[in-house]
Amino acid sequence: MKNIAVIGAGTMGNGIAHVFAQNGYHVNLIDISEAALEKAFLTIANNLDRMVKKEKITIDIKENTLNHLNKVSNLEKGVQNADLVIEAATENIDTKLSLFK
């Protein structure tokens, strides 16, 4: 297992994507909102910067983590080659039911 798809770029989704990417998995972070994807990547980069500053990780680990992350706004493309799909979308029943169709 090396390809992970995380559906939803909010607080939970970006945190899950961050941890998988930092541990060497290729992660597609999927959201229909480009703005949400940009915000998620900025959050992840800021969290990694904080970890570098505290000497918990190196710059190389930060860069490697970011290189393992992909922003995807198309659900079908994002999950196409995934070995594992994690749903972290908004807590809206209609959205969740639509995803699971």
Considering Cα of 89, then 66, then 16, then 39, what sign does the dihedral take?
negative
Domain extent at residue 81: 3-100
User: 66 falls in which pLDDT band (50, 70, 90)?
Assistant: very high
Query: What pLDDT is recorded for position 89?
Result: 78
**pLDDT (tens digit, 9 = 90+) per residue, 4-53?**
999 999 999 999 999 999 999 999 999 999 999 999 999 999 999 999 99
Question: How confident is the prediction for the chain on average, in pLDDT?
Answer: 93
User: 95 falls in which pLDDT band (50, 70, 90)?
Assistant: low
Domain count along the chain: 1
Put simply, whether the predicted model's pTM sits higher than 0.85 gets the answer: yes
The residues, any chain, with a CB within 8 Å of residue 64's CB and separated by 6 or more, are 24
The CATH number of whichever domain residue 59 belongs to comes to 3.40.50.720
